Amino acid sequence: MIDTLRPVTLPEGAEITLRLAGPVARARAWATDFAIRSMVLMSLPAAFARFGDAGAGVMLICWFAISTLYPILFEALWNGATPGKRVFNLAVVHADGTPVGWSSAFLRNIVRMADAFPVGYVTGFIVMLFDGQFRRLGDLAAGTVVIHRDSLAGKPGAHAAREALAAPVALTPLEQRAILDFDERRGGWSAERAAELAETAVPLVGALRGEAAADRVSSIAAGLQSRR
């Protein structure tokens, strides 16, 4: 089964899943950061203009410092996210899911120069195409990955007010998740489609048909939720 997940086993023995972020999401975050940085950088000449050539020198130093330190500082101090990454709900973490610190943030952003070589991050893009976890060279060097951090859970309980029923059969965690998902997403489907879906879960709905079947599945979802 092809997917873009990275399972990580925590020292406690629990397993979490990192949702790796690929080129498009990361490019969008980068473009946002680039826009923010450019605005700052372009405001500098006006501020330094009155100081003549010396001002120009100081300004160039500021330019260098801002463009180099921007990603490092944000990633090390702001939960692994630059403003652009935050806008698109991305974050840099270590491959084992732990937050990045100074050394990783520094390393992955210094190696950025190699990724950007020669134009427009072509090296990084090609490495990302063929790496199993969408890592660019900087990520490979620092042992980091970029992940999606938004939540995929829908609004719980559009139908949660329904009477709660216990499931008639023992359910695996994945099946319970599917039943809850059904309830959460039911509002987005036509009544016919919801009924059709519910009817496929024969052990849950038995001989019920149509809206009654869909309601039965929603009731079981409510039952699962109340048990939590």
User: Residues 58 to 117: which contact other proteins by CB under 8 A?
Assistant: 58, 61, 88, 107, 110-111, 113-114
Residue 4 CB contacts under 8 Å (≥ 6 apart), including other chains:
19, 20, 22, 134
d(CA 147, CA 94): 10
Instruction: Indicate whether 34 belongs to the interface with other proteins (CB under 8 A).
Output: no
**Residue 129: Cβ-neighbour burial (10 angstroms; 0-12, 13-18, 19+):** exposed
| Residue 74 near residue 82 (C-beta atoms within 8 A) | yes
Binding residues for other proteins restricted to 138-157, rule: CB under 8 A: 140-141, 148, 150, 152, 154
CA nearest neighbour of 93 among 136, 14, 149 = 149
Least CB distance to other proteins at residue 61 (A): 6
Least CB distance to other proteins at residue 41 (A): 17
Q: Which is nearer to other proteins, 8 or 116 (CB)?
A: 116
Q: Which is nearer to other proteins, 1 or 161 (CB)?
A: 1
> Which one of the spans 14-22, 74-82, 93-101, 218-226 is the region binding other proteins (CB under 8 A)?
14-22
**Residue 217: Cβ-neighbour burial (10 angstroms; 0-12, 13-18, 19+):** buried
d(CA 57, CA 76): 28
Least CB distance to other proteins at residue 36 (A): 18
CA torsion 157→162→164→169, rounded to 10°? Answer: -80
Q: Which is nearer to other proteins, 77 or 202 (CB)?
A: 202
Supply 90's token pair.
């991305």
Instruction: Indicate whether 129 belongs to the interface with other proteins (CB under 8 A).
Output: yes
> Which one of the spans 7-15, 32-40, 76-84, 190-198 is the region binding other proteins (CB under 8 A)?
190-198
Least CB distance to other proteins at residue 163 (A): 21
CA nearest neighbour of 158 among 126, 132, 186 = 186
Supply 17's token pair.
């899943």
Least CB distance to other proteins at residue 120 (A): 3
Binding residues for other proteins restricted to 197-216, rule: CB under 8 A: 197-198, 200-204
Query: Residue from 11, 15, 24, 42 that binds other proteins (CB under 8 A)?
Result: 24
Instruction: Indicate whether 185 belongs to the interface with other proteins (CB under 8 A).
Output: yes
Query: Residue from 41, 67, 83, 189 that binds other proteins (CB under 8 A)?
Result: 189
